[in-house]
Amino acid sequence: MAESKYEKYIVRKPAMLIHEKGEYGKGVYREIIPENKKMPGLYIHENESGIQIAMSKTLVPETHSTVEYGLIWGETALAVKSTTTRPHKHDYDEIFLFIGTNTDDVDDLGAEVEFWLGEGDDLEAVVFNTSSCMFLPAGIAHFPQIIRNVKRPFIEIVIIPNGTERDLMPADLKGRPTYD
């Protein structure tokens, strides 16, 4: 197959986001394109594919957006303190999509998601079991994300429309479940 003149804008193999040891926040995470997914330092929950980076400034320098995705096939709590899923907030917006894979009912997520939002008096858990989309304005603390009652795999996509740096500001943990 001939290479397109637009090849520099196409990502044919996603990068993976890994957590490196260091201070929590900016500069702790990096994108890699692994030979396999069993690389030292790579953290993947046993019931999900890990964070795949479909688009980022690392992969396409001209972009101003980041797109991440993962496949989730079992119960898990995305709230581990040493990963990108620790409760945090950003100075940029995020969009979360949860897409079911039931071809007979695309509204059926195939699982239940408990997604924690806010801090202090505004802290609450949002629970859903349908294919859903959430917009998180800059500054909204989020996570943990707890997945239960999984009947079939589903896809989670995170879009950062105008964000190319991974700046995570720790959120107040008071009142929210945490997992080590």
pLDDT computed for residue 36 by the predictor: 44
Mean pLDDT, the chain, whole residue set = 80
Choose between 22 and 141: higher pLDDT: 141
Band of the pLDDT at 51, cuts 50, 70, 90? confident
> Does the structure show a pLDDT above 60 at 33?
no
Residue 46's pLDDT band (cuts 50, 70, 90):
low
143 vs 125: CA distance, rounded Å: 9
Query: Collapsing DSSP states into helix, strand and coil, what is residue 9?
Result: helix
The distance of Cα 37 from the centroid of its chain, to the nearest Å, equals 17
Identify the pLDDT of residue 178. Answer: 67
Token digits of residue 92 = 């940029």
From residue 141, alpha-carbon distances to 24, 51, 73, 136, 158 in Å are 15, 19, 25, 9, 15
Given a cut of 50, whether residue 27 has pLDDT beyond it is no
Domains, the chain, ordered by start: 12-170 (2.60.120.10)
Which phi and psi (to 5°) does residue 8 adopt? -65, -15
Q: Which residue has the tokens 């397109």?
A: 4
